[in-house]
């Protein structure tokens, strides 16, 4: 445990101080080189260009090229080391594929940048309450924590959509709620809309029909509930116990019911054909869920509501944000991340983090996000490349196995 803690601490220190690891520091270097010009957080431009193939093949295309290049380079190096005939054919071939990927990425970035500029915009406010794990879920501090979000929301004037993160509201709420409780609803205008995270339930708390959910609610400015979404993919051991049905039958084994997964991609819809895909917690790390929201629910905005306070001051919050970038590229949708302690950010359809709030600091990110439509090949056809590569690998393996004497 001590070794792990020390390693994690060293990782966090490196991430905070190494200029290539922290996107903010990277942009500072870029700005100085360019003569001090300030511009948005776009990470590593070369890397963003290289991974644009995600709208064709998902995250597996770039990963495949990296693996293929490493394998080919290793084979050449080891052949040279062992004085064996060097097989050069793979390296030029993978090099051509990398060049093709970069060319494709360059062209797609230009096209998507033009489409994004022409797309309809929605004014949003993402509220980051910065409620630490030492404050969260403390019954004595429930009112204090809620007040922090309500006070910050006063800065959201002018935003059409105000969003609080996962479980920002700590008291349990009925999943068939019709009106946001008076003590929960922040001060909003009649024309605003409000999405917030909370734990909800259905049935009687002590009855066999009781179910608990991790929920995102949508209300209008007066607090009238318009819709809700239950998280589909639950966190093992955090939100449910694997094999609970079997373990509960064993004598002497303590057992507690967990959360219930929601059914299917259900968008939160606003007037004007605005369809919001709420991705709760780590659902923004799963390509299939975002893809289903866009394909079946016609979502034109992805919103990740999460609480990453558990990670503390480590690299993990930024790792979560960087992995989520793929969903924006795969679907060509804006991804708005609304978090408790960070990273609250806007990721544009090109996959660039263009705005963010500081970690572990309360704040409100007010911005306009592009509402994109249409389906990418990856949304339409899914993991065709990954499954194709798997089938080809199996075929090669079986052919080689049968050919052995």
Q: Which residues are catalytic?
A: 166, 231, 281
Within 8 A by CB and 6+ apart from 372, the residues are: 115, 116, 119, 300, 332, 333, 334, 349
Helix axes 90-118, 60-81, angle to 10 degrees: 160
H helix and E strand count, the chain: 12, 13
Distance, CA of 240 to chain centre: 21
Q: What whole-number distance in Å separates Cα of residue 212 and Cα of residue 199?
A: 7
CB atoms within 10 A of CB 402: 7
Residue 176 phi/psi, 5° resolution? -100, 25
DSSP 116-149: HHHSEEEEEEEEE----TTTTT-GGGHHHHHHHH
Q: How far apart are CA 361 and CA 367, in angstroms?
A: 18
CA proximity to 142, closest of 188, 199, 70:
199
Return the percent helix, strand and coil in the chain, to nearest 5: 45, 20, 35
Distance of alpha carbon 42 from alpha carbon 306, whole angstroms: 22
Partners of 163 in the beta sheet? 126, 195
Beta strands in 221-374 (DSSP E): 225-230, 268-270, 274-280, 301-306, 335-339, 345-347, 353-356, 363-371
């Amino acid at each position: 445990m001590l070794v792990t803690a020390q390693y994690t601490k060293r990782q966090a220190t490196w991430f905070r101080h190494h200029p290539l690891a922290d996107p903010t520091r990277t942009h500072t270097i870029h700005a100085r080189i360019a003569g001090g010009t300030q511009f948005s957080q776009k990470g590593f431009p070369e890397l963003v260009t290289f991974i644009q193939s995600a709208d064709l093949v998902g995250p597996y295309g770039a990963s495949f090229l990296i693996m293929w290049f490493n394998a080919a380079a290793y084979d050449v190096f080891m052949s040279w080391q062992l004085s064996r005939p060097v097989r050069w054919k793979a390296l030029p071939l993978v090099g051509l594929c990398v060049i093709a990927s970069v060319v494709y990425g360059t062209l797609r970035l230009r096209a998507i940048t033009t489409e994004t500029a022409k797309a309809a915009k929605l004014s949003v406010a993402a509220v980051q309450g910065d409620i630490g794990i030492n404050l969260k879920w403390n019954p004595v501090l429930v009112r204090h924590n809620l007040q922090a979000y309500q006070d910050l929301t006063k800065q959201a004037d002018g935003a059409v959509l105000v969003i609080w993160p996962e479980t920002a509201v700590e008291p349990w709420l009925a999943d068939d709620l019709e009106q946001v409780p008076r003590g929960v609803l922040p001060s909003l205008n009649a024309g605003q809309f409000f999405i917030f995270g909370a734990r909800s339930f259905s049935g009687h708390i002590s009855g066999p029909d009781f179910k608990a959910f991790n929920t995102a609610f949508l209300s209008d400015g007066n607090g009238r509930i318009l819709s809700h979404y239950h998280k589909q993919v639950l966190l093992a051991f955090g939100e449910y116990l694997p094999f609970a049905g079997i373990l509960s039958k064993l004598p002497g084994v303590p057992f507690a019911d967990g959360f219930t997964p929601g059914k299917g991609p259900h968008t939160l819809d606003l007037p004007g054909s605005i369809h919001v895909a709420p991705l709760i917690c780590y659902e923004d790390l799963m390509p299939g869920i975002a893809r289903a929201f866009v394909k079946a629910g016609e979502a034109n905005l992805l919103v990740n509501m999460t609480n990453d306070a558990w990670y503390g001051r480590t690299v993990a919050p930024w790792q979560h944000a960087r992995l989520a970038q793929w969903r924006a590229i795969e679907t060509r949708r804006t991804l708005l991340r609304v978090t408790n302690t960070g990273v609250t950010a806007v990721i544009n359809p090109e996959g660039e983090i263009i705005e963010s709030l500081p970690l572990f600091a309360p704040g409100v990110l007010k911005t306009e996000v592009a509402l994109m439509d249409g389906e990418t090949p990856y949304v339409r056809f899914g993991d065709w490349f990954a499954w194709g590569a798997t089938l080809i690998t199996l075929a090669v393996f079986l052919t080689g196995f049968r050919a052995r004497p």
